[in-house]
Amino acid sequence: MIERFMYRGYSTDKNLCVNDDVRAENISAARFGDMVFLYYESQCNESPENILKCKMKKFPDGRSWERMNDIFHYSKPLSVSHWQRKVKKTPVFTINFLKNERVSEYIFYHFQYQEEYPGDCDKYGMIFNIENLIIMYTEEPEEAETENIHGMLSTKNTPYEYEKWKPLTDGMFKTWEDGFVGWKRIERIL
């Protein structure tokens, strides 16, 4: 089965490129400051070190990458044919930071939304976190889910209307230095 990965590492290397003979697809990367985010899909649990050629800063324990948590996805791969892109896509990365005391609440609401409304919005859209940092991965143009996906919940407790959802989640976000509250698109480098 296809598995989706997002990793965070640190690098100022401007010469990122994909290694030859990798066993991964839909590889993309983005940068925010010296943080590099690597997204890819693989059926064989390919490691990020095998994906990119670049100079990475090492963590104290010697690792170059740390895997981010899948905290929300609109859909999931049901088969290889289900997950194939129908048109050429452009990966989009957006970043945000949660208030530390609101991280679990954010994850709770997104799990509830994911399971109450599976297949809603961009089929390939997904949110990952590490600590209070969140990255949303989407693809343009957006593609709707065509399969009937069933969630784990039969409730409808999620504030589904945009007018109710936006104020709820905006209250969980840290304010940016420029006073903005919300998601910011970051530079795609691969």
Write down the pLDDT at residue 41: 97
pLDDT at 160 over 90: no
Average pLDDT of the segment spanning 98-113: 97
pLDDT at 81 over 90: yes
CA angle 133, 175, 135 (to 5 degrees): 25
Residue 167 to residues 18, 110, 173, 176, Cα–Cα distance (Å): 40, 14, 10, 16
| Strands in 43-132 per DSSP E | 52-53, 65-67, 69-73, 90-97, 126-130
Average pLDDT of the segment spanning 90-97: 98
**All domains of the chain, ordered by start, with CATH?**
3-188 (3.30.70)
Residue in the block written with tokens 């896509």: 89
pLDDT tier for residue 77 given thresholds of 50, 70 and 90 = very high
Write down the pLDDT at residue 2: 96
* Rounded-to-integer distance, Cα 69 and Cα 57, Å: 21
- Cα-only R_g, the chain: 17
Average of per-residue pLDDT values in the chain: 95
pLDDT at 14 over 90: no
DSSP 144: B
pLDDT tier for residue 153 given thresholds of 50, 70 and 90 = very high
pLDDT in tens, 41-54: 999 989 999 999 88
* Rounded-to-integer distance, Cα 57 and Cα 42, Å: 24
Whether 48 contacts 4, CB under 8 Å: no
Name residue 55's amino acid.
Answer: K
Neighbouring residues of 132: CB distance < 8 A, sequence distance ≥ 6:
97, 98, 99, 100, 103, 174
Is the pTM higher than 0.75?
yes
